[in-house]
Structure 1
C-alpha cells in the first residue's frame, strides 16, 4: 500500500523542510500552500495522513481538516502548530476532525515516529474495512457453494447415496475453501485441517496436538482468552484469525480456528482468483 502524505502550510520553507524530512521514509509527499489547494488535492488523490498548519490566511488548519474529513473520512489528520494555538484545536480534536496536535518547532525523530504511527492507524482502519468486504465476498462464495451442494444432491437416490453425496461435496467445499480451517477437540487434538491450513502450518496433523503446529503469537493470543487477531507469516503475508466454539446442542466439543488472508496478500499471491 503506497503511503501518501499531504502537507499543508502557507510557508514555503516549512513545506520544503517537511518534504526533506519525510522523503527518507519513502512516502509519496504532496504539498499545498493553503487549505483550498489541499482540498483540491484530496479531491484527486487518496491520502493516508494529512499534516496541516493551524494559522493560515483564508482558512485555518482545523477548518481545512474538518472539510478534509468530509472528503476522505479515513485519512488521519494532524495539526502542526505553536502551543498558543492549542485551545483553538481542542474542539476539532473532540469532534474527531484532528487525530493529533504536534508543535512547532518540531523534533525530527519524534515527528517521524508520530507520522509513522498515524500511517499504521490508517492502514489498520483500511485493512479492517477491506476484511469486512472480504468476509462478505467469502460468505457469498459459501452461499453459492451451498446452492451447488443442494443441486448436487437432487439426483441422489436412496438414503445411503444421499448421505454419501452430502459427505463428498462437503469435504470438497471444506478442502478447497479460500480460508484456512482447523477443527480441534477441547484437549487440543486436531480433528480437521483443510488444504490451506496444512499449507500455512505444515506440522498440522490430524490426531496430534494443535499447539505444536501453531506459531507462538497465535497460541499466546488464544491462551489469553482472546478469540481473534492478526498474524504475519514469515513470507510477509498477513491473516485475520478467529477461534469459535464448535457445539452440538448445548455441548461444546471443541474449537474451529479460521484464518482469512487480507487483501494485501491477494496482490502478491493471487489468492483472490
Structure 2
C-alpha cells in the first residue's frame, strides 16, 4: 500500500487535469484515500491558471484534450514550474509526441487508461517520493552552499587577522630594533638582567665601563658584578668603578609590560658625593 504522507508535515499536493468530469471524479475517489491535497482542472489552460495560484508537487494529465494536449501543457508547466513531477495518463498512445516529451524531461511517466488502481496509486506515491527526494537534495545543496560561504568568510577573516598579527609582529620587531639601537648609543651605561640575575643585555657604555676586556653578556651577576647581585632587592647602591663612584639604580621590569627581570643603570656621581 503506497504511503500517502511524507515524513514532513507539508501536505502532498496533486493536480489532476482531464476534460472528462467522470474521470476526474474517479481519480479523486481513488487517490484521496492516500490523503493527498487534490486540485483539479478541465483543460491545460485552466491547469496553468491553477498552478499560478496553487503550486503543486505532482501533475497527472490526460493527453487528448481540446485546445491543448497534455504533453503541450506539461512542456509549459516544466518551463514555469520545473520542480513538479509530471505524469501523462491517456487512453491514446501517441507514442512519438509522448516519447519526445519524456526525452525532453517534460514527462516523468506515461500511464495508460484504463488503469490498475493499485499500480496507479503506487506510481503516484513514487512520484511524490521522487519530488521529496529532489526537494531534500536541493535543501542540502543550499545548506552546503551557505556553509561554504560562511567558511569562505571565516577564512577571509582569519586571513585578515593573521595579516594584522604579522604586521603587528613586524612593527614590534622594528620598534625593538630601534629601541636596541637607541639604548646601544646612549652614553649612560645600561644593562638588563633576568629573574635568575643573568645579564641579558648591556649597551656599549656599560660594556666599556664594566669590562671592555671581558664578555659580560650571558654571565651571572653573582660572578661578574657581585655587589650589584647582592643589592638585587634594594633598588640602588653606590659602588666604586675604576676609582670613580657610581650610583647604581636597579629598576624592576613588568609594571607596564610582560617583561621580567630588572634594568640596571650606572650614573657617575660628582666627586663631592664620594668624599
Give me the TM-score of the superposition, normalised by structure 2: 0.53
Structure 1 residue runs of 5 or longer lacking an equivalent are 159-273
User: Which residue pairs with 2:263 in the alignment?
Assistant: none
Q: 1:69 aligns with which of 78, 82, 89?
A: 78
2:54 is the alignment partner of 1:54: no
**Partner Cα separation in structure 1 for residue 102 and residue 32 of structure 2:** 27
CA separation of 1:84/1:151 partners in 2, compared to 1, >3 Å: closer, same or farther?
closer
Correspondence 1:100-249 to 2 at 5 A: 100-150=109-159, 153=162, 154=164
Q: Could you report, residue by residue, the CA deviation over 1:120-155 in whole angstroms, capped at 9, with x for unpaired residues?
A: 112222222222221110012212333443455545
Correspondence 1:248-267 to 2 at 5 A: none
**Partner Cα separation in structure 1 for residue 160 and residue 87 of structure 2:** 55
Q: Is 2:63–2:92's contact at 8 Å kept on the other side of the alignment?
A: no
Q: 1:9 aligns with which of 18, 23, 26?
A: 18
TM-superposed deviation, 1:103: 0.9
Q: Is 1:42–1:71's contact at 8 Å kept on the other side of the alignment?
A: no
CA separation of 1:114/1:61 partners in 2, compared to 1, >3 Å: closer, same or farther?
same
Q: Could you report, residue by residue, the CA deviation over 1:69-95 in whole angstroms, capped at 9, with x for unpaired residues?
A: 111012111110115434442222222
Q: 2:36 aligns with which of 16, 27, 41?
A: 27
User: What CA RMSD, in Å, does the superposition of the two structures yield over aligned residues?
Assistant: 2.1
Give me the TM-score of the superposition, normalised by structure 1: 0.53
Q: Is 2:64–2:92's contact at 8 Å kept on the other side of the alignment?
A: no
Deviates more, 1:31-40 or 1:119-128: 119-128
Q: Secondary structure at the match of 1:105?
A: coil
Q: Is 1:9–1:33's contact at 8 Å kept on the other side of the alignment?
A: yes
Deviates more, 1:122-131 or 1:140-149: 140-149
**Partner Cα separation in structure 1 for residue 54 and residue 14 of structure 2:** 10
**Partner Cα separation in structure 2 for residue 91 and residue 139 of structure 1:** 39
State the aligned residue count. Answer: 159
**Partner Cα separation in structure 2 for residue 149 and residue 106 of structure 1:** 62
Q: Is 1:77–1:97's contact at 8 Å kept on the other side of the alignment?
A: yes
Q: Who wins on radius of gyration, i.e. which is larger?
A: 2
User: Which residue pairs with 1:79 in the alignment?
Assistant: 88
CA separation of 1:151/1:80 partners in 2, compared to 1, >3 Å: closer, same or farther?
same
Q: Is 1:7–1:52's contact at 8 Å kept on the other side of the alignment?
A: yes
